[in-house]
């Protein structure tokens, strides 16, 4: 089991053009089945038109092809060599058995310069799930990769829930998963509890992880793939002087020898992936714009063993104006403690009051517990207005990829990091050519096409069901339906639009309307009181 601490030696790694300057200080979830039903309506026409093309011709644009990361030969025209490089590095070969094969978009006939004497260089800023997944994919695809992360033991305030599909898709070992949740309790404002999970198959579960463990594991895997992981703080970025000139990344490196301020370093790269979270400095560097954000507040509480046994495979979600006016409170089990937290967009100054209310709602089950860690962090509420500029792209929280209603972000962070890296690998023909903005736009196009319906529908659900306590009562009432539970878990665990039974869908629509009507009537009665 990883303990969240990792050290990354820079020996025997690829060398970059690094200029050392004199050291001096710098100033420095679960959505209801209505989600699935509406998503199917919105996205069915999108999903049904994805077909594999069987051949590629030079100088002809194709939209989808089943292509290995290692093979992009003959897809681009000859072009002048790139004379802007100041570094000569021979990249290490990557064994074919280490490469992941997946469906990629290929744009043929581009005339970007061919790189000689080295491979494409990319800096990944941020070492969370997005950055770790991106760095590993880049390194396996032949890209010279550096990853900067300031806090190697970072423990972001995060519920830590991951869908089952992520375990398989990202080859996660079971020993980094603290708990396998097979039961959930959804608890209404009036403390009516609904048990969820009765439709799960024996092998199905929601994984619970600690971010410091997951993040360290993904960074270690990126290192093993050939990426250079640096304990450093990104400070600024100098933009290219012309189309194919390098970006100059400025950062403070913390090697334990230069004191608390670190050593000022610069490195030249051809492209940048911003995976540095909601307060992304990379996003600011490209004027990506602002977004609404929530404040998440979480306490890790060590509870007695007998009470911990209650949470062995159980997670709880609380809804109500007391715990959050626009989100939910949670109690999620970890290895030897529970994470108790809440969040809000609209009432940020009251976050500690909401946290106290969440603890009070769960007080009998966490009685005798001791708070061992307190965490708080902003969480984006929607994608940024701008997610790429030239050869810089944003992924994960930096791009705004957290779902409303459920607040899920880990899977989408790792997925976006991988998808962005894949676009760079294919656009550069495994690091042999310079990339352009059009290559990164392939990543955005694929992302939006795949996940836009989910984000849009969850936005609608949050506005419908989180607007009042009566609406939340209706939300919990709906969760008691077995059909709702099956569709919800199937969609969450596998991140696919699950086909439903038309008759059951119709019954669900009627029941949803009935629940909302009852909720509205209850609200009117409460207003009279």
Question: How do residues 97-110 score in pLDDT, each as one tens digit?
Answer: 444 445 455 444 46
Q: Is the model's pLDDT at 337 over the cut of 70?
A: yes
- Whose CA is closest to 424, among 383, 391, 448? 391
**pTM recorded for the entire structure:** 0.78
How does 301-322 read in b/e, with b if 16+ C-beta sit within 10 Å? bbbeeebbeebebbbbbbbbeb
Position 86 scores a pLDDT of 36
Report, as an integer, the average pLDDT of 316-323.
Answer: 98
DSSP 312: S
Mean residue pLDDT across the chain: 80
List, for residues 251-286, the tens digit of each pLDDT value: 999 976 656 788 999 999 999 999 999 999 999 999
Q: Is the model's pLDDT at 24 over the cut of 70?
A: no
Residue 65, phi then psi, degrees to nearest 5: -150, 150
List, for residues 496-513, the tens digit of each pLDDT value: 755 556 665 555 555 666
127 pLDDT tier (thresholds 50, 70, 90): very high
Lowest-confidence segment of 351-365, 475-489, 498-512 by average pLDDT: 498-512
Position 419 scores a pLDDT of 98
| Max CA distance (Å), the chain | 78
Query: Rounded to an integer, what distance in angstroms lies between the CA atom of residue 337 and that of residue 429?
Result: 47
Report, as an integer, the average pLDDT of 305-325.
Answer: 97
The answer to whether the CB of 335 falls within 8 A of the CB of 178 is yes
Query: Rounded to an integer, what distance in angstroms lies between the CA atom of residue 460 and that of residue 454?
Result: 10
Position 487 scores a pLDDT of 83
- Report the 10 Å Cβ neighbour count for 41: 12
List, for residues 73-83, the tens digit of each pLDDT value: 232 333 333 33
124 pLDDT tier (thresholds 50, 70, 90): very high
Position 461 scores a pLDDT of 80
């Amino acid at each position: 089991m990883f303990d969240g601490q990792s050290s990354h030696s820079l020996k025997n790694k690829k060398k970059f053009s690094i200029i050392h300057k004199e050291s001096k200080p710098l100033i420095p979830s679960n959505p209801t089945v209505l989600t699935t039903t509406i998503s199917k309506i919105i996205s069915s026409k999108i999903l049904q038109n994805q077909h594999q093309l069987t051949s590629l011709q030079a100088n002809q644009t194709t939209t989808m092809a089943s292509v290995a990361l290692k093979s992009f030969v003959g897809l681009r025209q000859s072009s002048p060599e790139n004379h802007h490089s100041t570094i000569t590095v021979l990249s290490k070969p990557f064994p074919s058995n280490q490469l992941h094969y997946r469906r990629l978009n290929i744009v043929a006939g581009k005339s970007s310069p061919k790189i000689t004497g080295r491979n494409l260089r990319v800096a990944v800023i941020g070492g969370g799930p997005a950055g770790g997944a991106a760095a590993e994919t880049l390194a396996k695809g032949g890209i010279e990769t550096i990853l900067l992360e300031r806090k190697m033991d970072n423990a972001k305030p995060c519920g830590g829930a991951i869908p089952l599909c992520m375990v398989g898709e990202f080859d996660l070992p079971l020993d980094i998963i603290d708990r396998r949740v097979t039961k959930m309790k959804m608890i209404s404002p009036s403390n009516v509890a609904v048990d969820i999970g009765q439709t799960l198959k024996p092998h199905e579960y929601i994984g619970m992880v600690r971010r410091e463990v997951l993040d360290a594991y993904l960074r270690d895997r990126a290192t093993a793939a050939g990426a250079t992981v640096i304990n450093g703080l990104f400070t600024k970025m100098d933009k290219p002087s012309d189309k194919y000139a390098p970006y100059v990344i400025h950062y403070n490196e913390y090697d334990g020898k230069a004191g608390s301020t670190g050593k000022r370093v610069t490195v030249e790269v051809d492209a940048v992936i911003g995976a540095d979270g909601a307060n992304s400095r990379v996003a600011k560097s490209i004027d990506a714009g602002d977004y609404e954000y929530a404040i998440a507040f979480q306490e890790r509480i060590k509870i007695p063993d007998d009470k911990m046994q209650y949470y062995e495979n159980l997670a709880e979600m609380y809804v109500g104006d007391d715990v959050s006016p626009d989100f939910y409170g949670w109690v999620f089990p970890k290895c030897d403690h529970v994470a108790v937290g809440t969040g809000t967009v609209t009432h940020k100054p009251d976050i500690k009051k909401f946290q106290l209310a969440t603890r009070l709602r769960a007080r009998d089950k966490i009685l005798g517990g001791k708070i061992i860690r307190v965490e708080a962090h902003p969480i984006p509420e929607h994608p940024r207005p701008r997610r790429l500029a030239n050869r810089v792209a944003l992924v994960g929280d930096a791009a705004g990829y957290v779902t409303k209603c459920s607040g899920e972000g880990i899977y989408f962070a790792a997925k976006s990091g991988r998808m962005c890296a894949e676009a760079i690998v294919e656009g550069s023909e495994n690091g042999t050519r310079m990339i352009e903005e059009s290559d990164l736009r392939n990543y955005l196009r694929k992302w939006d096409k795949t996940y836009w319906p989910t984000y849009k529908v969850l936005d609608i659900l949050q506005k419908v069901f989180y607007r009042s306590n009566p609406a939340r009562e209706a939300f919990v009432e709906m969760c008691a339906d077995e059909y709702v539970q099956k569709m919800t878990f199937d969609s969450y665990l596998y991140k696919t639009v699950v086909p439903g039974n038309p008759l059951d869908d119709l019954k669900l629509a009627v029941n949803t309307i009935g629940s909302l009507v009852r909720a509205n009537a209850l609200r009117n009665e409460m207003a009279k009181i």
